Amino acid sequence: MQNYLDEYSNYLAVEKGLSKNTLESYRRDLNKFTAYLSKLDVNDPALVGKTEINGFLMVLKNNNSASSTISRTIASLRSFFTFLVQEGYLDNNPALDLESPKIEKKLPRVLTTDEIDRLLGQPKLAEHKGLRDKAMLELLYASGIRVSELIDLNLSDFDPLVGYLRCRGKGQKERIVPIGSVAINYVNEYMSGARSRLCKSNGETALFVNQHGNRMTRQGFWKILKKYALKSNINGEITPHTIRHSFATHLLENGADLRSVQEMLGHSDITTTQVYTQITRRKIREIYDKAHPRA
């Protein structure tokens, strides 16, 4: 079985060009499956049928695995056995007709405007790093860009006179995002003094740099955000995407149209953006229930 897994992994890496993280996910699922099969003394994929697969899925379910985990495992098994059929090792795919469990879509976490104010008010502006952190947080909330887009920003991507930001999203697709005066002022203030104090090289093109003068990393920003989230005394985990979700929801709550928010977020499909309308509808219902005398 191990030889088949190695050949399949090579196929995914070379011919499909999947990322390292995706490869590891497939391999992890299949390793668990083969470990289960070894307990049944099944070492040949030709001996695997729906009975063995369903037994494995039942073990996952009994171990309280999430529906998303089971669904991903089914996809991994289906892909693996499809490969074996294509290569002529099997005649039929025993995982072809497996039904994936329904995954409950959870609404994203959104901060209130008060919580956003508390979070963005944490950095100490008298310090160079504090001013940088303030500029990053304000820019993130003002634009709704992803953390990867934030750390990829170059000096040339920020245009304070026009009030727009150029960022590169998924697939290096460029988009222009408007930003407000508050974020512009803090980024300008950071660039006029703090950045040059943090930067070690005049040739550095990154807009935001770390204490070593190099481009800020994703992990570095996560640590910064986590520190300020703890100081804010806001319940629950806060991630860079929480700020992105809050940006979109607050825009819609204040009258922005869905298409404009879609364009600012860089969503290729408007159905991805529509999740935020559910959040605003839920909030409207809560307000109604609290305020109406006959609710």
Q: Examine the residue annotation and report whether 173 is marked as an active-site residue of this protein.
A: no
From 241, 259, 281, 282, the catalytic residue: 241
CB 270 within 8 A of CB 262: yes
Active-site residue among 78, 244, 245, 250? 244
Alpha-helix runs per DSSP H in 63-104: 67-86
Catalytically annotated residue among 170, 226, 231, 282: 170
Active site annotation includes 250 = no
Q: Which long-range contacts (CB under 8 A, 24 or more apart) does 19-23 make?
A: none
Out of 32, 109, 118, 267, the active site residue is 267
Kindly name the residue from 8, 186, 228, 276 that is annotated as catalytic.
276
Catalytic residue list contains 276: yes
- Which residues, listed in sequence order, are joined to residue 198 by a DSSP beta bridge? none
For residue 89 the two structure tokens come to 């090792």
Q: How many residues does the chain have?
A: 295
Helix (H) or strand (E) holding 177: strand 174-178
Residue type, 234: I
Our CA dihedral for 250, 68, 218, 154, rounded to 10 degrees, sits at -60
Catalytic residue among 146, 195, 245, 250: 146
Quote the CA–CA distance of 191 and 132 in Å, as a whole number. Answer: 9
The single-letter code of the amino acid at 19 is S
> Do the beta carbons of residue 261 and residue 254 sit within 8 Å?
no
170 labelled catalytic: yes
The catalytic residues are 146, 170, 241, 244, 267, 276
